Amino acid sequence: MSELNQTLAIQLAQEAQALAPRLVQWRRHLHENPEVGFGTADTEAFVREQLTEFGIEVLDARVGVLGLIHAPHANGIVGLRADMDALPMEELNQVPYCSKRKGAMHACGHDGHTAMLLGAAAMLQTHRQHLQKDVLLVFQPAEEGPDLGGARRMLPELEEKGILPAAMFALHLTTEQALGNVGLLCGSTMASTDELDIAITGQGGHAGLPHCCVDALSIGAHYVAEMESFMSRRIDPFDPAVFAIGTFHAGTVRNVVPERAQLTVTLRCQSEKTRAFILEHAQKILYGLCDAAGAKGEVVIRHGLPVLVTDEQEELYVGKLAQQLPGVSPLHLKHAQMGAEDFAYFAQKVPSAFVWLGARNEEKGFTHLMHDPRFDFDEAALPLGASLHCAFAMGK
Tell me the average pLDDT across 237-261. Answer: 97
Question: Count of domains in the chain?
Answer: 2
> pLDDT-derived band of residue 1, with 50, 70 and 90 as boundaries?
very low
pLDDT digit string (tens) for 109-133? 999 999 999 999 999 999 999 999 9
Clarify whether residues 175 and 126 are in a common domain: yes
| Model pLDDT, residue 389 | 98
Clarify whether residues 28 and 119 are in a common domain: yes
Q: Cα separation of 317 and 120, whole Å?
A: 18
Of the three residues 275, 303, 331, the one that is the final residue of a domain is 303
> pLDDT-derived band of residue 2, with 50, 70 and 90 as boundaries?
low
By DSSP bridging, strand 329-332 and strand 181-184 are parallel
In percent, how much of the chain has pLDDT > 70?
99
Of the three residues 303, 334, 350, the one that is the final residue of a domain is 303
Radius of gyration of the chain (CA): 24
Tell me the average pLDDT across 183-200. Answer: 98
| Model pLDDT, residue 5 | 85
- Residues 92 and 358 sit within 8 Å (Cβ to Cβ): no
Domain of residue 258, CATH code: 3.30.70.360
Q: Average pLDDT, whole number, for the chain? A: 97
Residue 366: inside a domain:
yes
Clarify whether residues 46 and 79 are in a common domain: yes
Tell me the average pLDDT across 227-239. Answer: 97
Q: How far is CA 39 from CA 51, 110, 145, in A?
A: 20, 14, 11
Clarify whether residues 166 and 315 are in a common domain: yes
Clarify whether residues 10 and 93 are in a common domain: yes
Of the three residues 271, 303, 335, the one that is the final residue of a domain is 303
Between 6 and 189, the higher pLDDT residue: 189
Residue 1: inside a domain:
no
Q: Cα separation of 357 and 364, whole Å?
A: 17
> pLDDT-derived band of residue 274, with 50, 70 and 90 as boundaries?
very high
Clarify whether residues 78 and 182 are in a common domain: yes
pLDDT digit string (tens) for 60-106? 999 999 999 999 999 999 999 999 999 999 999 999 999 999 999 99
- Residues 108 and 149 sit within 8 Å (Cβ to Cβ): no
Q: Which amino acid, 7?
A: T
